[in-house]
Structure formats: C-alpha cells, structure tokens
Amino acid sequence: MGTRAGGRRTGPKCIAIVGPFASGKTTLLEAILARTGAIPRQNPVSSGSTVSDHSPEARAHAMSVEATIATTEFMGEQITFVDCPGSIEFSFEAEPVLAACDLAVVVAEADEKKIPALQLIMRKLDDLGVPRILFLNKVDKAIAGVRDTLKMLQPASSVPLLLRQIPLRKDGVVIGSIDLALERAYIYREYAESEVAQIPGDDKARELEARFSMLETLADHDDQLMEQLLEEIEPPKDAIFDDLAADLRDGAVTPVLIGTAEKGNGVLRLLKAIRHDAPDIEATRKRLGAPDGSATVVQVMKTIHTPHGGKLSVSRILSGQVADGLELWLPGGDTAKVSGIYKMLGKDQFKLTAAKAGDTVALGKLDEVKTGQTLTSAKGGTKQLFAFEPPQPVFAFALRPKERKDEVKMSAAIQRLAEEDPSLSLRHNQDSAETVLSGHGEMHLRVVRERLEGKNQIPVEGHAPAVPYRETIRKPAQQRGRHKKQSGGHGQFGDVVIEIKPLPRGSGFQFTDTITGGVVPKTYIQSVETGIRDYLKTGPLGFPVVDVAVNLSDGSYHAVDSSDMAFQMAAKLAMKEGMAACSPVLLEPVMKVVIVTPSDATSKIIALIPQRRGQILGYDARPDWPGWDVVEATMPQAEIGDLIIELRSATAGVASYRAEFDHMAELTGRLADEAMNANGKAA
C-alpha cells in the first residue's frame, strides 16, 4: 500500500467550483446537490430556479454574478461547494474564496476559444497554491477525442493534465466512462448513479494505452512505480490511488475527470475523488500560514447583506471553534461579537449552535468585518493571511439618484454593495461634482445599478464620467485690471498690471511679483495671487487653467478705499481680459495604456488603437504567459471610457488593461468644440 498521501483526509471540506463563462459550473453544482440529497431534483439552468440563480440579476442575465455557497453531505462527510462566476467581470468574487478552499474543481469543455479564460483561472490557482481537479464537461457533445482535447487544453495548465477517465462510446455516442485507476467501466444513467460494467473487449487496448500514460506521469514522482513500469510489473491499485492523491495535494498534477453535468453524468465519480483525494483544513491552514495554537482563526470569504438577517460574513473556520457570542479580534485591534451562525444553501440559511475547524459558515452581525480579513479569538488579533487586491477598474459611470431626496439613501446602499463587492470603487470628482462608480466592465456596473434600483428601490441615472479637460495659453500678454467702486462711505479700489505667459507642459501655475516703490503694498500682493488662482479655476474655455505664469509688475492703491477684496477683483478682471489675448487652447489628458491579450487577437487590438486616436508604443510576448501578448500605447482619456467593451469583444471576454496618466495634449477642431459645448461653453 502506498504511503505518500497518508490516507484519506476526513473532516469538513470546502471546494470551489471555477471555470470559464458558460462552461457548466452552476449546472454541476445543481447536479452535486441533487446527487447528495441537498435539493429534491436537479433544475436546468434555463429554468431560472437553480440554487445559484437566487438573485434577480442572475436570472435576468442568465449568468452567475456572485459566488454561491452550498453545504451538503456525501457519504457521511460535510462538503461546502462555492460556485464562482465565470465571467472575467465578476472573477474577483473567486479570489478570497479560493484562498480559504481546500480544492478547486475547474469546469472546462472542448472549446479552443475558452483556453485563454481557462489559463487565467489556472494561473490564479497557481498564484494561490490551490490544488485542483479538472472536470471535462459536456463530453457527450465533444467532437474531438478526449486525449486530443487534453493536448489542446494543456497549454492553459502549468502542471500536467492527468487523464483519469476516458469516454465509453457506442455507435459514436458517449454512453459512459472507463476509470483508468479502477479499470472499470461505468454506463451513464441520466440523473442517477452509473451502472458498473466490464470494459468491452473492443475498448480494452484503448484503456490499457491511456492507463499506461497515466501511470507514466505518476511515476515522475514515485521511483518505485517507475521501477515497476520498467520491469512490467503491475502496480497495486491502492498504490496508484495513493499516488493520485499525493500528486493532487502537492499540486504536481491536475487529475481530469469527465462527464456531462446537465444529465448528472460523472458527478458521483467526481464526488468520490473529492472525498478520497482532496486535502483537508490542516493543509489549507498550512498553505495560508495560519498561526499554530488553540485560538480560533477565521478567514472571511464573502460578505452578504440579507433583507432580514442583516450582514453575514461567509467564513472558513481555520482552527478552533466558533460559538454564538464569541468575541473575535479584527486586524488593527478592534473586536466584533458573533451573533448567529448559519449553514448556507444558496439564499437559504440554517441556524447552527456552533462551528468547528473546517466548517464554512456565515457569521452574523460582524458589522466592521470585511471580505478577506482574518479574525481570531487571540487577544490583539493575528496577521492578515490573505491580501485581497482587486484589479484596476476598467469601466466607470457617473451616478446620481433621479430624486435628490434619495442621495443619502443611495450613498448608504452603495456602501453596502461595496462591502459585498470590494472591487467596486467609488469616488467624488471635485471638478465635475460627480459621484463616479468604477468596476470591471459594463455588465459589472449594470448589475450594480440594477441592484440599486431593484433591491434598494432607488431610481438612478448614469452617464459617462466627465473627462478632466484643462486649458492653457499659447502666447504671452500684459493686462491692467482696475476695480473701482464708490457707493457712499468707503469705496473699493484696486489696480494691478499683470504679465501672463505660458509655461512648459506639466509646470502648473507660478506667481511672482516685481513690484517696486510700494505701488502695490505687500499686504495686497497675496490678495492679487488669491484672485488670480480663483480665476484659474475656470478659464475662458470653461475649464481649469494650467501651465501659466503670472507676474504682478505694476499697479496702484488708495490709502482709504483699497482692500483685500478690491485687489482680488482687480486681479480677476485683469486675468479675464488678458487671457483672451493669450490664445487659450484646450488640453486633454492622454493615458499610458498597457493591454494584455491572447496572441491570436493581438492584430485586432493593434488595429483598434488608432481608431481611438491612440499611438502604439510597441508590443511583445507577455513574460511567463505562453500565448499572450502585452500591447503598450498612449490614448486620450476621452477614448478609454468604453475601451474594455471592444477589447473583450475581440478576445472572447478575456483581455484587460491598466491605464495611468501620461501627459496633457492640445485638443483642437471639432472634438474641442464638442468638449466645450458639453461643458456649457460656446466654442
């Protein structure tokens, strides 16, 4: 008997279900829950009544938009499955979940177009060190042979894809599978356990060839097995199962099981592989670097706001126990008290009295707790085990309630949504007085808006955020500004002469004075600068003015009527009249854009950049990412607003970009006229 794996790991397990969009993850979860008796029957995704379709947004768009947690039992052991969305726009949901899971089931299919999306998922699992099983779904519809499919999928995986089953066909139709470790055939029955059968004689040679290939891969990590193969000695089955479990847990291979989740086929073999081979909470705790000791340690995977139960923090208990009323320390030294412990089955919660190490539960009323945080019963808290860093937002819109009375309500609702979805970014643009919501794509923010209007009953309006245009000048000018007013008693008098000149791009604003003889008293020079700065907030074209130098060269004052305000007004008048003579010009922000794309779409990306007034700086292979390229360009910010939609349309939904400010550039002609008209200024 093999001893590398150390036997089956018992205790509660947490399994993430991940995979490209529309690969069948939700269908697989339904099949698992039906097979384990957690739900009475398997509902098709098209019915809109699956466990994962509990939100109106998921039903409306026929896609998962958030992680769904479902706890069930299989052969006397508790397993929690977390169905993670497949769309890249909601992929952030998976990261804090994966960090605390024991194993990931990657759902894939024989579709070459989805390989880049599969590669993104596999790379994330590599980064987090999460072992995985690949469930090759929809085998009944696959045209290519399963081994050819694995050759196609292998570039997406950094470790060997190890085939554990091959399809059993009759008249070209998949009717079952052959288990290469057990050397046994299984005849599929829809929504029921497969029927065990002998391997047909016609398939024996195919089975032996595939089995030997599996054993060769396992022998790469087992010298004894290598010797047995070289000496043509049949290895014991228990040793083979031990190698399969050990290599899975070590991340040396990715075992591949096959089936059709829609019909419940292959689900039982998957469950048995999970039960036998998956690591346990001890391995996950070690992977995360959780502290040793008797203290309770909890890793928060997701935050949910329920209509009646309030805030729930879905958490993995890494060590110790959690009872109602337990005080937990947050990072930073604050504490929170658990008020309610729940087992999750989609939208339904079932109250528990306690939870132990390995359990995945929802903890109630931890109001200050955030997704990704590590909590502990140890006084003073513990180190953060997982750093959740959402990717840079790639899509934004300015948001406001249709009715002013809903402003406070909308702000509170967005705060709750941001707790559930830490990848949302909310900021207030001082220049445009806009509330700008940013996220990971058009669908991502559409769902947020639908939740505001549906779940929170707040009608809202959204539009593209204002571009932060600026204006500057092309030539110098000198101008006098005199403010004189007499209205009984003390009057107002301020008189200044200023010299305005352009500065190099990026210089900002400079103020100097060359006053001699006290023609403008020192006490009023600061007032002149204040007036100029106030004017520069909105120049003659309607935008803030930059890259300008102003020198106060002359002026006069009145011993009685001069004041701070009078000189501020004089300075503004001088600027207003002088700027018109300085050939003002509009500036637009230009961004440095770095696009990551599958190589087969690089030519499309390069073609669309000039269409958005961009300039290509270059492109190259993405380091350590086979089949991907990095394209660098500069592009006006005004052209980036919906760039992600076009990028993803050209790349089956997987391209992304990051952008940072590069420089300001002059904007003239029709586009400048449109920008000024949109800002309420005539061209």
pLDDT tens across 135-187, in order?
999 999 888 889 999 999 999 999 999 999 999 999 889 999 999 999 999 99
Q: Is the pLDDT of residue 333 over 90?
A: no
> What is the rounded distance in angstroms from the CA atom of residue 332 to the CA atom of residue 383?
9
Give the three-state DSSP class for 355: strand
pLDDT, tens only, 238-253: 999 999 999 999 999 9
316 Cβ partners below 8 Å, 6+ apart?
A: 14, 100, 101, 281, 284, 298, 299, 301, 358, 359, 360
Q: Under CATH, which architecture does the 471-582 domain have?
A: 2-Layer Sandwich (3.30)
Q: Is the pLDDT of residue 681 over 60?
A: no
Mean pLDDT value across residues 356-377: 95
CATH class of the domain defined by 395-463? alpha beta
91 Cβ partners below 8 Å, 6+ apart?
A: 84, 85, 120, 124, 440
pLDDT, tens only, 432-451: 888 899 999 999 999 999 99
Find out whether 284 and 100 touch, Cβ atoms under 8 Å. Answer: yes
Q: What is the DSSP letter of 184?
A: E
Instruction: Give buried/exposed letters for 434-472 (b at 16+ CB in 10 A, else e).
Output: bbbbbbbbbbbbbbbbbbbeebbebebebeebbbbbbbb
Taking the chain, what is the end-to-end CA distance rounded to the nearest angstrom? 84
pLDDT at residue 77, rounded to an integer: 95
Could you please state the CATH topology (level 3) that the domain comprising 285-376 is classified under: Elongation Factor Tu (Ef-tu); domain 3 (2.40.30)
**Residue 396, CB-side half-sphere exposure with 13 Å CA sphere:** 22
Find out whether 83 and 68 touch, Cβ atoms under 8 Å. Answer: yes
Q: Report residue 452 as tokens.
A: 């505001």
Q: In the structure, what pLDDT confidence band is assigned to residue 519 with cuts at 50, 70 and 90?
A: very high
Find out whether 471 and 584 touch, Cβ atoms under 8 Å. Answer: yes
Q: What is the DSSP letter of 395?
A: E
pLDDT at residue 54, rounded to an integer: 66
Provide the residue count of the chain: 683
Show the 3-state SS of 210-240. HHHHHHHHHHCCCHHHHHHHHCCCCCCHHHH
pLDDT, tens only, 49-93: 788 766 788 888 888 889 999 999 999 999 999 999 999 999 888
Q: Which of 345, 340, 312 is nearest to 326 (CA)?
A: 340
Q: In the structure, what pLDDT confidence band is assigned to residue 1 with cuts at 50, 70 and 90?
A: very low
Considering only the C-alpha atoms of the chain, give the largest distance between any 2 of them, rounded to a whole number of Å.
Answer: 116
CATH class of the domain defined by 588-682? alpha beta
**Residue 342, CB-side half-sphere exposure with 13 Å CA sphere:** 23
Which of 105-119, 340-354, 488-502, 628-642 shows the lowest per-residue confidence on average (mean pLDDT)?
488-502
Find out whether 359 and 281 touch, Cβ atoms under 8 Å. Answer: no
374 Cβ partners below 8 Å, 6+ apart?
A: 290, 297, 298, 299, 300, 331, 382, 383, 384, 385, 386
Find out whether 312 and 306 touch, Cβ atoms under 8 Å. Answer: yes
Question: How far out from the chain centre does Cα 313 lie?
Answer: 19
pLDDT, tens only, 13-60: 999 999 999 999 999 999 999 999 999 999 888 777 788 766 788 888
The Cβ of residue 119 has, within 10 Å, a number of other Cβ atoms equal to 22
pLDDT at residue 390, rounded to an integer: 77
Q: Which amino acid, 86?
A: G
Find out whether 632 and 619 touch, Cβ atoms under 8 Å. Answer: yes
Classify burial at 172, counting beta carbons within 10 Å of its beta carbon; exposed 0-12, middle 13-18, buried 19 or more.
Answer: exposed
Delimiting residues of CATH 3.40.50.300 domain(s) in the chain: 13-279
**Ranges assigned E (strand) in 360-413:** 360-364, 374-376, 395-401
Q: In the structure, what pLDDT confidence band is assigned to residue 488 with cuts at 50, 70 and 90?
A: low
Q: Report residue 529 as tokens.
A: 């600068």
Helices (H), 336-495: 407-420, 442-453
**CATH code 3.30.1360.120 for 13-279:** no
Q: Which of 618, 622, 641 is nearest to 120 (CA)?
A: 622
The crossing angle, in degrees rounded to 10, of helices 237-250 and 223-230 is 140
Delimiting residues of CATH 3.30.230.10 domain(s) in the chain: 471-582
> What is the rounded distance in angstroms from the CA atom of residue 300 to the CA atom of residue 278?
21
pLDDT at residue 489, rounded to an integer: 66
pLDDT at residue 683, rounded to an integer: 38
| Cα three-residue angle 415-421-426, rounded to 5 degrees | 50
pLDDT at residue 431, rounded to an integer: 80
> What is the rounded distance in angstroms from the CA atom of residue 274 to the CA atom of residue 280?
10
Q: Is the pLDDT of residue 682 over 50?
A: no
pLDDT at residue 43, rounded to an integer: 87
Q: Which of 97, 113, 85, 187 is nearest to 648 (CA)?
A: 113
pLDDT, tens only, 290-322: 988 889 999 999 999 988 778 999 999 999 999
Q: Which of 197, 199, 219, 215 is nearest to 207 (CA)?
A: 199
Rounded to the nearest integer, the mean pLDDT of the chain is 93
The crossing angle, in degrees rounded to 10, of helices 237-250 and 267-277 is 80
Find out whether 186 and 196 touch, Cβ atoms under 8 Å. Answer: yes
145 Cβ partners below 8 Å, 6+ apart?
A: none
Mean pLDDT value across residues 200-222: 94
Mean pLDDT value across residues 646-660: 95
Give the three-state DSSP class for 665: strand
Element (H, E) at 603: helix 602-611
| Cα three-residue angle 598-600-603, rounded to 5 degrees | 100
> What is the rounded distance in angstroms from the CA atom of residue 296 to the CA atom of residue 322?
7
Q: Based on C-alpha coordinates, what's the Rg of the chain?
A: 32
Q: Which of 556, 271, 303, 580 is nearest to 415 (CA)?
A: 303
Q: Which of 250, 220, 24, 213 is nearest to 132 (CA)?
A: 250
Delimiting residues of CATH 3.30.70.240 domain(s) in the chain: 588-682
